[in-house]
Structure 1
Amino acid sequence: MSTSRFEPSSIKNKVKREEVARKQKKQKRQDKLQRRLAQAKVEADDPVAKKKRREQNVPRTLDNTREFDPSFLTANSASSSSTTAQPEASSSSNVPDHGQAHPSEHQPQDESAADLANDSFASYFSGVADPTLPPKVLITTSPKATRVTYDFCDELVNIFPGGEFIRRKKGKGFEMGRIAGWAAGRGYSHLAVVNEDMKKPNAVTIVYLPDGPTAYFKLTSIELSKKIRGHARPTEHFPELVLNGFVTRLGHSVGRLFQTLFPPMPEFQGRQVVTLHNQRDFLFFRRHRYAFRSTEKVALQEIGPRFTLKLRSLKKGLPAVKNLGEPSKTLEFDTFEEGTEDVEMATNDPKEDGKGEEEVDKQVEVEPKSKKAVPPTEDEYQWIWKPELETTRRTFFL
């Protein structure tokens, strides 16, 4: 008696039940393959039928089912009547003088332009900073980091032209907010803290100094340069930055944050390009070098590393330190030279210290000219990821 008339769930014997279920699945796959081959044979002689089938069978994805949202700065208001309007992907760079797309070229000249003119990154894009000097980026880790995290930090130092890595000390008084205030007083423009879990990097926090904001990203799919087969070696040239898919107001804020990490004037003779591609809230990081094979063809040789970011929260200001009012030891790092702490604790009166005028002049030169940044006692979130909205994902896309 044939077993095809029985459902596998009605068979009590486990071995026989698995055998029947396996045969049924195999038969279904064979039937599906035969239908596809027959359909392909018919459509090969009739292209109109193939075109009609594709128009009728459009798969539902997160992108084409997204509703129109006026927060998309590149969205066309004329398409608001369609419930499946899909925003156009935009490519932006921080070198508008060389023909690259700039976020301001795609933005409506209304309240969006006013928001960009008054945000935390307005001073960087105003042209006050020297375009030939790279932004100073302090890179550190979470406490008790391992060699894997240190290797990833070395990759970040090579990515950012102004990157500098300093190991984080253990103990109290070395909270992220205190380190951010210390870095802001020493002329650093950014603080990047790589977090570690289960002996591998799992998150990175980027703080824009001296007044924030603070962005927290989950870090996945890390592949170092040495693991990429046939990778190119990086040079010290300033890379070109390409941002793709940052179309909402939140996306523009995140994109401008990444723009401030790189010099505004790339060195094109280095032929290096850093790409951040946003797709479904995931930021894919890639770094390549242009390889000009001829006057008409160009190839890309990957330098590395590869990793994926996902924004979890965006805070206003610096990271909070709840016990900021309590006394703590003076911040210091392993790479400090002797005598730095004495300079910080010295008074301004040469008579009280017993120092001459020459030492006072040296002290004034060493002291930073920037204002002192004080972290808050409570975090103020500008945006935070909510897991319950993960199923819809229509209103908070980058």
Structure 2
Amino acid sequence: MGTQSEALKNIKNKIRRQKVFSQIKHDKNKERHTLRKERAKEERANPELKDKRIVENIPDTIDSKRIYDETIGTEVEGKDEFDKYFTNLGKDPKILLTTNFNARNAAYEFADILMDFLPNVTFVKRKQGYQIPDMVQFCNNREYSTIIIINEDKKKVTGLTFINLPEGPTFYFSISSVTEGKKIAGHGKAQDFLPELVLNNFNSRLGKTIGRLFQSIFPHKPELQGRQVVTLHNQRDYIFFRRHRYIFRNEEKVGLQELGPQFTLKLRRFQKGIRGDIVWEHKPDMERDKKKFYL
């Protein structure tokens, strides 16, 4: 490779240099395809060679190079603010959904999207001057378990705030890539069943806390006859929301039909109590190390 680079540098004519470079690239591609054909022929004759290659040639990814986190695999110690949900199995969550001040149509439209899959949720329009402590008192007097606030700016939904009741904690997530169900190709129509909840890859202590937050807004017993599942998949600290329905084609084949919506969350802040001391906050310099993840 070094010899070829030196040879290209010695060619002064730009057009000639480009032709030589294209020929070198063509020859490399031809050689690679020839080797692939020969390898495929050998593997057809001896399938064990293919199995060995697959085992040995595991590609490196950012996920596989993740920097070790000593909290991975550890359970939540003792009781936390969500313990009430996990110990009182006879009581389902009760959610109040609202917006920030001076919300526009985008926030109300997104509220409709959330209410399509969130169980036992009530939407209340945010009144001017109605502060978060007032909302918390209102909800605690009526036995709500969670407040969800839709944050909208410049006619665009930018985030979601979750307040666990009666005394916190508070979480703020930015939101992006929102797609309504009706805009998803081949989408199905959701029915009024409580969905099953699937949480993927919430491995660190902070990740497990976020997982418990999401668990706390869904009832303990899903209605499995509805065949609907909500998935929250964490990958590199981005949380992807998807909703599907199981399709049983026959006794052996099971498919998935997407119902929507789709959106992506990213944790920005985790606070004690009702917006109290900051426990964890995402900062711009955290993006420098691409192999460090927090959830």
Query: What code does the residue aligned with 2:30 have?
Result: Q
Query: What code does the residue aligned with 1:232 have?
Result: G
Report what 1:122 is aligned to: 83
Report what 2:118 is aligned to: 160
CA RMSD of aligned residues (A): 2.9
Report what 1:63 is aligned to: 63
Query: What code does the residue aligned with 1:253 have?
Result: T
Larger radius of gyration: 1
**Cα contact 2:195–2:224 (8 A) shared by 1:** yes
Distance 2:254 2:190 in 1: 18
2:171 is aligned, of 195, 211, 215, to: 215
Cα–Cα, structure 1 residues 227 and 22, in superposed 2: closer, same or farther, change >3 Å? farther
Distance 2:94 2:20 in 1: 63
Cα–Cα, structure 1 residues 38 and 382, in superposed 2: closer, same or farther, change >3 Å? same
Cα–Cα, structure 1 residues 6 and 63, in superposed 2: closer, same or farther, change >3 Å? closer
Report what 1:44 is aligned to: 40
Q: Could you tell me how far 1:140 is from its partner in structure 2?
A: 1.4
Distance 2:160 2:69 in 1: 29
**Cα contact 2:230–2:241 (8 A) shared by 1:** yes
Distance 1:230 1:36 in 2: 38
Report what 1:239 is aligned to: 195
Q: C-alpha deviations, 1:36-95, integer Å up to 9, x for none?
A: 212212211334777777677654322211244331117xxxxxxxxxxxxxxxxxxxxx
Percent identity over the alignment? 42
- 2:146 counterpart of 1:146: no
SS in 2 for 1:135: coil
- 2:44 counterpart of 1:33: no
**Structure 1: where are the runs of 5+ without partners?**
12-16, 75-106, 320-378
**Cα contact 1:161–1:236 (8 A) shared by 2:** no
Q: Could you tell me how far 1:295 is from its partner in structure 2?
A: 2.3
Report what 1:329 is aligned to: none
**Cα contact 1:43–1:49 (8 A) shared by 2:** no
Query: What code does the residue aligned with 2:233 have?
Result: H
- 2:246 counterpart of 1:290: yes
Report what 2:156 is aligned to: 200
The structure with more strand, counted as a fraction of residues: 2
Q: Could you tell me how far 1:267 is from its partner in structure 2?
A: 1.0
1:267 is aligned, of 208, 223, 230, to: 223
SS in 2 for 1:36: helix
Distance 2:55 2:246 in 1: 38
* TM score, norm. by length of structure 2: 0.85
Q: Could you tell me how far 1:22 is from its partner in structure 2?
A: 6.8
1:249-268 maps to which residues of 2 (within 5 A)? Answer: 249-268=205-224
SS in 2 for 1:145: coil
Distance 1:25 1:174 in 2: 67
Q: Which moved more, 1:161-170 or 1:263-272?
A: 161-170
2:127 is aligned, of 150, 153, 169, to: 169
**Cα contact 2:66–2:293 (8 A) shared by 1:** no
1:389 is aligned, of 267, 286, 294, to: 286
1:311-350 maps to which residues of 2 (within 5 A)? Answer: 311-319=267-275
Q: C-alpha deviations, 1:148-207, integer Å up to 9, x for none?
A: 22211101011111112222233xx32334323332332221111111233221211111
Report what 1:72 is aligned to: 72
Distance 1:248 1:317 in 2: 21
1:87-126 maps to which residues of 2 (within 5 A)? Answer: 107=75, 112=76, 115=77, 117-126=78-87
Q: Could you tell me how far 1:213 is from its partner in structure 2?
A: 0.9
